[in-house]
Structure 1
Amino acid sequence: MDEKTEQLRDIFMDVADGETVTETQQDAHGSLATDEGSVDAQLQSVLERLHGKFDLQSSLEDDQLCQLVRAFYAGEDDDAIAGSIGCTSEAVFRTRMDLHLVRDDEVPNEELETAIRAEDPEFDGDVPVDRLAAEFDADRNRIERAAAAVAAVDRSRRVSQRFRTAFEEVLTDADLSVQFTAEAHEDGLEDATEGAEVGVEL
């Protein structure tokens, strides 16, 4: 075996060892990744507590509710969420309100919010839709959705936004775990390939 052949063999052995090390490290670090089922189980636990507190009414199945929560925090709109979980966008909106998942732009302006609350000191979402629609020159759907958003915000505030915080903590922990696993894998690749480069003149 000549000198160049020996050098090529050494390169091959270095790379082969590096791949073995990388696979071993990937297996070890991979166990740190957040399991999708575990995340859904944690979300389901939050949903059960919310249901116990507010008697959650929804026709969606548990897995659909978990998907809805994930999609909401991923920034998807109601049409996209409806398409992914198999329901109407209106069902998504109503379910989000039940889960206290209100977007900032869904909260009405101060004037409309004041008018909505003025109807009942213990506002529960019921308002004279037609009268308010005429007063604010708005369609019925806008008034109904604004009232639903105000009621959802109130319910969330009554429990110090406990359930929104719980949803966010579950998903934040999951994101951090995935990020940590990815970084650990990258570190493993660097460690495995460090020093493996050998200059060969062919």
Structure 2
Amino acid sequence: MDEQTEELRDIFMEVSDEGTVTESQEADRGSLTGGDDADRIAAVIDQMRERYEFATDLDADALETVVRGYFDGRTDSDLAADLDVSRDTVARARLDLHLIRDRDREAPFDLDSLRDLADASTAEAATELGVSDSTVRRYRRVLDAEAESRRVSKRFYSAFTDAIPDADLSEAMTQEAVEDGLDDATDGMETNVSF
């Protein structure tokens, strides 16, 4: 202890009825930043509902369950069982909330081909790509969710991660990072070049 600290300790001991200077410390267990903020999650969902037309009629509590489940790495099937809805309903709700999984992009065709067919009808795109109409609709929903998210610089996704303290950590441990567009920009580049 330095001289000033010792003097402060002595003063404290004189004016206080306490027999010790130190306070016992209890560390909270769990998240490093405390609990999550359910009100913030609900507010983000409300903002999104005001801005976008949702494909499902799930209530706010169910949508919050989808958000938390996504960041906990739970599957759409698990969440569907908890909510007593179809897996497709959970997937649509997740896309409404701009929560896109890497496997959502695993189409049986190149997604750029579907982007090129943006003006084509579902039936025309399905014929061109050699898949069913439902497959085209599914991947168009994914592309639409990605486009909406990019238009707002992934603001809603970031707001969810801010409201759920361990979201970034959980997501990193449960799924691959969100695509950032660099893959397309560097596709076909030579990386092992010697000068």
Letter in 2 for 1:80: D
Q: State the TM-score, normalized to the length of structure 2.
A: 0.62
Corresponding residue for residue 172 of structure 1: 165
**Quick check: 1:128 aligned with 2:121?**
yes
Structure 1 residue 56 displacement after superposition: 3.8
Q: Is the 8 A contact 2:72 2:167 kept in 1?
A: no
- The change in CA–CA distance for 1:137 and 1:102 in structure 2 (over 3 A counts) is same
**Quick check: 1:149 aligned with 2:147?**
no
Letter in 2 for 1:68: V
What's the CA shift string for 1:71-92, capped at 9, x where partnerless?
A: 0111122111111122111111
What's the CA shift string for 1:32-90, capped at 9, x where partnerless?
A: 9844xx62211001111222222445311111111100101111221111111221111
Corresponding residue for residue 184 of structure 2: none
Cα distance in 2, alignment partners of residues 73 and 117 from structure 1: 28
Corresponding residue for residue 80 of structure 1: 78
- The change in CA–CA distance for 1:148 and 1:57 in structure 2 (over 3 A counts) is closer
Cα distance in 2, alignment partners of residues 116 and 92 from structure 1: 23
Q: Secondary structure at the match of 1:138?
A: coil
In structure 1, list runs of 5 or more residues that go unmatched: 1-23, 122-126, 177-202
Letter in 1 for 2:148: R
Cα distance in 2, alignment partners of residues 70 and 138 from structure 1: 33
The correspondence of residues 85-104 of structure 1 with structure 2, limited to 5 A, is: 85-104=83-102
User: Which of 42, 61, 70 is equivalent to 1:63?
Assistant: 61
User: Which of 142, 147, 151 is equivalent to 1:158?
Assistant: 151
Q: Secondary structure at the match of 2:165?
A: helix
Corresponding residue for residue 43 of structure 1: 41
Cα distance in 1, alignment partners of residues 80 and 168 from structure 2: 23
- The change in CA–CA distance for 1:174 and 1:72 in structure 2 (over 3 A counts) is closer
- The change in CA–CA distance for 1:128 and 1:57 in structure 2 (over 3 A counts) is closer
What's the CA shift string for 1:117-150, capped at 9, x where partnerless?
A: 33447xxxxx523333233232333221111100
Structure 1 or 2, whichever has the larger Rg, is 1
Q: State the TM-score, normalized to the length of structure 1.
A: 0.60
RMSD, aligned α-carbons: 3.0
Cα distance in 2, alignment partners of residues 72 and 138 from structure 1: 28
In structure 2, list runs of 5 or more residues that go unmatched: 1-23, 170-195
Letter in 2 for 1:85: L
Count of residues in correspondence between the two structures: 145
- The change in CA–CA distance for 1:174 and 1:129 in structure 2 (over 3 A counts) is closer
Q: Secondary structure at the match of 1:60?
A: coil
